[in-house]
Amino acid sequence: MKIAILSRNPSLYSTRRLVEEGLNRGHEVRVVDVLHCYMNITSAKPSIHYHGETLDGFDVVIPRIGASVTFYGTAVLRQFEMMGVFPMNESVAISRSRDKLRSLQLLARKGVGMPVTGFANKPDNVPELIKMVGGAPVVIKLLQGTQGIGVVLAETRKAAESVIEAFMGLKADILVQEFVKEAGGADIRCFVIGDKVIAAMKRQALEGEFRSNLHRGGTASLVRISPEERRTAVAAAKAMGLNVAGVDLLRSSRGPLVMEVNSSPGLEGIENATGKNVAGLILNWIEKNQKPHKTRTKGTG
């Protein structure tokens, strides 16, 4: 197979591992920086150009699109899809997962467990919003935040009102969520491929910190997950339409709650914590499922 990996940095661990696994299996693998692609959007023969050459003949495209380039990255991925290239994750599924509000609404529609979440536009509604999610402490999240940036724990009602009003004053869109105290500053990253959780790790926040992201100094360790947690993670990935996803769960007194569904989950933490060849398992799934992609013209919500 001829594989394109959409990644801005070929030296990133996840990109390197996917390249290694692809080459080890005899595939032709090329890393493509989406921001250097430019496109001819035509119904006759859509094409993608890159540093003066035309990108064609690819069988598979693996998107590793960073949050900061979601709009352009998914546009390039859509162009590959229009050219009949099989995507590991479809552009529409990535767009769904990157929109925090939309993704939570999709999870709610599918009956997937998640923290009680509020969303409002006017400062007048803030007191009622805080009450609606169970009162302080509450977690306040910027819709555009990633890797724990733009996430605030407000311990009192007054603090919560001040933070929410400050964000609203800056015209920032925010979510307000219940604080799940029993999670103890830990979450579980479930790595889903197809319809299975192939690996899971527990991420524990630093003492005095409630965000467990590894980028924020959290630690990762191997964890056994329950059948209910497996089902929840797979259901969350399916709700987004993702074939490969990192699903972040909190353990709560009412069962697993989905915090986020990541369409470009990192491989370093999960491979180191579990000792599993996750990149190889991704390639296994692609080899088994790869087929010419047909662009859908309707029902792509």
> Which pLDDT score, from 0 to 100, does residue 296 have?
46
Record: fold of 2-96: Rossmann fold (3.40.50)
pLDDT tens figures, 241-283 = 999 999 999 999 999 999 999 999 999 999 999 999 999 999 9
* DSSP assignment string, 255-288: EEEEEEEESS--SHHHHHHH---HHHHHHHHHHH
pLDDT tens figures, 197-207 = 999 999 887 66
The angle subtended at Cα 193 by Cα 192 and Cα 197, nearest 5°, is: 40
Alpha carbons 203 and 246: distance in angstroms, whole number: 13
- Tell which CATH classification among 3.90.550.10, 3.30.1490.20, 3.40.50.740, 2.40.50.140 matches the domain 117-179: 3.30.1490.20
Which architecture does CATH list for 102-113+182-287?
A: 2-Layer Sandwich (3.30)
Q: Is the dihedral of CA 121, 122, 123, 126 positive or negative?
A: negative
- Decide if pLDDT at 297 tops 50: no
Query: Environment class of residue 132 by beta-carbon count within 10 Å: exposed (0-12), middle (13-18) or buried (19+)?
Result: middle
Delimit the domains of the chain by residue range.
2-96, 102-113+182-287, 117-179
Number of Cβ within 10 Å of residue 39's Cβ equals 16
Query: What predicted TM-score, i.e. pTM, was given to this entire model?
Result: 0.88
Nearest in space to 266 (alpha carbons), one of 83, 16, 55: 16
Q: Which two tokens stand for residue 219?
A: 């630690």
Confidence of residue 294 (pLDDT cuts 50, 70, 90): low
pLDDT tens figures, 148-191 = 577 888 999 999 989 988 888 888 888 899 998 888 888 999 99
Confidence of residue 299 (pLDDT cuts 50, 70, 90): very low
Q: Which residue has the tokens 């989406």?
A: 34
Domains 2-96 and 117-179 share a fold: no
> Which pLDDT score, from 0 to 100, does residue 171 have?
85
Per the model's pLDDT, the better-predicted residue between 81 and 204 turns out to be 81
Residues 6+ apart with CB under 8 A from 82: 46, 295
Nearest in space to 57 (alpha carbons), one of 44, 66, 48, 65: 48
Per the model's pLDDT, the better-predicted residue between 192 and 184 turns out to be 192
> Which pLDDT score, from 0 to 100, does residue 215 have?
54
Q: Which ranges in 119-191 belong to alpha helices (H)?
A: 126-132, 157-169
Considering 17-26, 143-152, 170-179, the range whose residues carry the highest mean pLDDT is: 17-26
